[in-house]
Structure 1
Amino acid sequence: MTTPNSANSGADVDVNPAGAVRRRARVAPDHVVVRYEGGDLSYAGLDERAARLAAVLAEGGVGEGERVAYLGLNSSSFLVTMLAAFRLGAVFVPLNFRLTGVETGYVLGRSGAVALVCEDGHRAVAEAAREGVDLRLALLVDDDPAIPVQGEPGPAWAPWSGPLAEADPHPEIASRGFADPAILMFTSGTTGRPKGVLLTHGNVWWNSVNVDTMLDTRRGDTTHAVAPLFHIGALNSFVIRTLVRGGTVIVRRTFDPASTLADLTAHRVNSTFMVPAMLAGLSRVEGIAEADLSALRSVVVAGAPVPPSLIEQFAGYGVLLQQAWGLTETAPFATHLPAESTMAKLGSAGLPMPHTRVRVVDTETGEAAAPGVAGEVLVSGPNVTPGYWENPEATAAAFDAEGWFHSGDIGYLDEDGYLFIVDRLKDMIISGGENVYPAEVERVLTELPGLTDIAVIGVGDERWGERVVAVVSLAEGVELTLEELRAFGERRLARYKLPRELRVVPALPRNASGKLEKVAVRAMVG
């Protein structure tokens, strides 16, 4: 039997998170949805604050489809700004707070943002970034005890507390469908100019469906948000979903291992997203072995390879780390390793998400790679971006004729269909005619006692074409020779993969998502 709407089933569904937050505010107005050092917010408080900011933005000329940017650390103001933009049908642009003024200016200008909300600690960067950018409205967060305003803001800024207090809450919430733009995130730009990744409300929603299907998430859960929210991994793993499902988000501005452990136990946290470096820091906190982490059901780790020893260590604490793989372009997860497979498939990035397809193809022929054979990882599904912001050339280069997104990551599928990421295609080293994948070498050598971090790069070599170089940092008092490093690695790596040069540095450069800044590492080597 068919109905007049059966052919269009689901097309008119409103998936705007701002609407879901308003519904929760009506059902459970006093439930604390955001716990934050600058002040907690109930659902009613969050909804009203977002409605007031939406009114201020609308009065400042922000309309449907226009871009609203935020510059600052994790905070309740970040979430309020995002929801206010969503209420107007505008696009939220979270900015990387680690960029310089010039870099931020490029992103602001490229996004076409018409409004900017900024924390005081980033005012100088924002002021440098605004040169040549046509902003209609620049609001300074001035009512957060965690970030007090230092000195007079100046005429270029409107402290937002006054307008928020005076505004009548914007009564309407724009209905948003699957194809409507929601978030514009710029890639880290570690190898060049960052590209704007457009994520639709459908991309956000379908990733949430994938997460809810595969992970143990529940209505009313408490999630911990300490990884930077300007990355899609932190924002769309659990935070947005928790907001719309009646839960509580513990927002922390920066990562401190001891404070994070205290949060996990005191607040009976159920889920969190972290990068491996954070978990490594957490693993070293005194008392973690005795801590009650029994409420922690879903810990997703992504952004960089996870050392098997770290997975085993947390398993000993009763916490099964669930590795995932994806990119900003996949909103973020394309694959996920279920908790029950964590130990059996140690080191795997898991299976394709239920509503996402993943395949591995030969980089030369484009044909499907056999199980165990490395190739480029391709993704297709409703969580995949429709393309890059005002960049048809980059979009055309990333998608093939059949609509598959080419990730640029090298990996293989085992006989059971589990994905193992080997490396980035652009980072591959060709030494003596053999392909060497740095991430594979890094995974093995990171197990070396006393080694705290490692990056493997290729350097030009007259004899080999490229030689493999290991750049490492060591624990205090530890010394390491190239011979010792090679002796450790040769038990699991072919000799052509072993480093021919060793550089010891105090620390390796990583970006906010925990990924190695390979350009900066190469500059260290010279």
Structure 2
Amino acid sequence: MTTLSAVTPHPANSGLRVDLNPAAAVERNARYHGDTVVIRYPGGDLTYAELDDKAARLAGVLADGGVADGDRVAYLGLNSSSFLVTMLAAFRLGAVFVPVNFRLAEAELEAVLDGSGATALICEEGHRQSVDKVRGRTSLARFLLVDDDPEAPTTGAPGWEPWAPLLGVALPAAGVPAKGANDPAILMFTSGTTGTPKGVVLTHGNIWWNSVNVELRLDTRRGDVTYAAAPLFHIGALNSFVMRTLVRGGTVVIRRGFEPQTCLDDLVTHQVNSIFGVAQMFSALARVHGVFQADLSRLRSVVVAGAPVPPSLIELYAQHGILLQQAWGLTETAPFATHLPAERTLEKTGSAGIPMPFTEVRVVDAATGLPVKAGESGEIVVRGPNVTAGYWNNPEANQAAFDEDGWFHSGDIGYLDEDGYLYIVDRLKDMIISGGENVYPAEVERVLSAMPGVVDVAVVGVPDDQWGETVAAVVSVEEASEITLEAVHAWAAGRLARYKLPRRLTIVPAVPRNASGKLDKAHVRHLAGRDG
């Protein structure tokens, strides 16, 4: 009798040839329930059949222009159905999708477009002129302008092809190429708030395994409605719920940007089940009149990431039956490495949670790379199938980020408590050394964010003749609130060691952050350098 251990699985039946291409899943959904609305968007809703057809037609247009397997296709614009159509069209050709940050300055935009090697760009009118300034210094050969979206009106421009007429006569590209775990899917550039943006290669496997992690840890279901108001050019918004919703047959409510009152109205009207956002979004939502009296009973999975979440904000929502589930990760982890289960929200408030099911997380000594004890701070390292394959054309960055055992070094400082729950302390490079003492800005920010009248806060180190560096706080406050340095000291004195207290305070209308909610440290330091 043949034993099971002696059987060699046939490759076709072993899972080695599983097709992970999201475009294939959308095509399948279009075939079996094509009338289901997949995108609800002010510029026009789309069913699965309509989304698949439009993506197939765009793939045909791009293929006629020479785009092939492995080429890069870029998109520049706000959240819209066109963003997802372009992504799926690229996947239909086996091309790599390059979502571009629409807030980039001219030099940064050139660096991303040129560095990606993209040969085709789909763009909205609001960003066309920025592209025109740099297009001659890139590899771009095809320029398509979205002209069928009422939310992004255009009258056309020389050197640009309006895409609606092309889509109207294009033959849909036939078939969807199968893609495996190691095939590149998305080239996403880091925010660059602390340096030059790097291109992060995310494979179809990275995207898939993050989705599996999310499904095993969060309460997501087939047919769910998810809300997308955070920028889709960031992996947190795109791959938390949106990508998986497309694959599973649910509905994505897309807003071009976040507006608190509109968000509340949408959550109620569309009976939203899941949403990804940064802390500032939920802080603003909490200030909308009647938010906690509204019917948000369908909202099951609320993930907050991108920046530390003030415990006071988590407690506020929990008092009204809404559990904000903090997660931690980076573009390089596609995006989640850890997540705090909903049932532990109040017990472990302030924690970024435990490792995702198929992800390993350690805290190590930054100098030796060896794991540290529970409660001891060190650098957070990650390993797993959701971790990037590496940086685009950047062997130096790859060598610096990955050790010989395959651990990705995040550059974030944190610690694990006795139960193995992760707490984020700060960025390694943002640590302040004042008089020989280490000060973690995030710790000071958490204390100050709970101060009455404070809306948002950023803490940085500034040069000091006596201490080398000293602590400076940049704060935005509620209208009619008067926050002084003396008042900050009075509030924080019993909560922070004396050397951690800010010695400088700058009040600003809004603390500068990027689209993923992370502090724009360069801008903050500039503000902190002024007399406050």
Shorter-normalised TM range: over 0.9
Q: Is 1:238 aligned to 2:247, yes or no?
A: no
For residues 144-163 of structure 1, the aligned pairs below 5 Å read 144-149=149-154, 151-154=155-158, 156-163=159-166
Which residues of structure 1 form unaligned runs of 5+?
none
Matched residue, 2:388: 385
* Other structure's SS at 1:460 match: strand
2:156 and 2:208 map into 1 onto residues whose CA distance is 41
Correspondences of 1:415-454 after superposition (within 5 Å): 415-454=418-457
Matched, 1:410 2:413: yes
> Secondary structure of the equivalent of 1:103?
helix
Give, in angstroms, the shift of residue 481 of structure 1: 2.0
Runs in 1 of length 4+ with deviation above 4 angstroms?
A: none
Match of 1:315 in 2: 318
Partner of 1:174: 177
Q: Does 1:89 align with 2:117?
A: no
Alignment partner of 1:482 is 2:485: yes
- Partner of 2:481: helix, strand, or coil? coil
Contact 1:61 1:136 in 2 (8 A): no
Deviation for aligned residue 1:6: 6.6
Q: 1-side partners of 2:197 and 2:496: how far apart?
A: 34
Q: How many Å apart are 1:327 and its aligned residue?
A: 0.1
Give the whole-Å Cα distance in 2 for the aligned partners of 1:28 and 1:64.
Answer: 28
Cα deviation, 1:435-485, whole Å, max 9, x if unaligned, reads 100001101110000011111111111221111111111111111222221
Moved more, 500-509 or 192-201: 500-509
**CA deviation vs aligned residue, 1:308-353 (integer Å, no higher than 9, x gap):** 1111111122110000000000000000001000000000000000
Q: Say whether 1:260 aligns with 2:263.
A: yes
TM-score (norm 2): 0.97
Higher mean C-alpha deviation, range 314-323 or range 14-23: 314-323
Aligned length: 524
Distance 2:8 2:367 in 1: 48
Counterpart of 2:297 in structure 1 is: 294
Deviation at 1:7, TM superposition (A): 11
Contact 1:473 1:505 in 2 (8 A): yes
Supply the distance in 2 between the matched residues of 1:54 and 1:99 (Cα, whole angstroms): 27
Deviation at 1:492, TM superposition (A): 1.9
1:117 correspondence with 2:90: no
2:33 paired with 1:28: yes
Q: Which residue of 2 aligns with 1:128?
A: 133
Shift of 1:491: 1.8
CA distance in 1, matches of 2:468, 2:16: 54
Contact 2:11 2:17 in 1 (8 A): no
- Equivalent of 2:19, from 14, 17, 20? 14
Secondary structure in 1 matching 2:136: coil
State yes or no: 1:358 paired with 2:361: yes
Between the aligned partners of 1:46 and 1:414, the Cα distance in structure 2 is 46
Contact 2:38 2:252 in 1 (8 A): yes
Q: Which runs of 5+ in 2 are unaligned?
A: none
In the TM superposition, residue 366 of structure 1 has moved relative to its aligned partner by 2.0
C-alpha distance after superposition, 1:52-107 (max 9, x if no partner): 00000000000000000000000000000000000000000000000122211110
CA distance in 2, matches of 1:182, 1:365: 34
Which secondary structure state, in structure 2, belongs to the residue aligned with residue 305 of structure 1?
Answer: coil
Cα deviations by residue, 1:22-66 (Å, 9 ceiling, x for unpaired): 100011010000000010000000000000000000000000000
CA RMSD of aligned residues (A): 1.1
Q: Who is 1:394 aligned against? A: 397
Deviation at 1:134, TM superposition (A): 2.5
Within the alignment, does 1:141 sit opposite 2:146 as a pair?
yes
Deviations 1:472-518 (A, max 9, x none): 11111111222221221122211111112222222211100111101
Q: Which residue among 227, 233, 240 is the counterpart of 2:230?
A: 227
8 Å contact kept, 2:59–2:173: yes
**Matching residue of 2:55:** 50
Stretch deviating more after TM superposition (269-278 or 4-13):
4-13
Of the three residues 512, 520, 525, the one matched with 2:523 is: 520
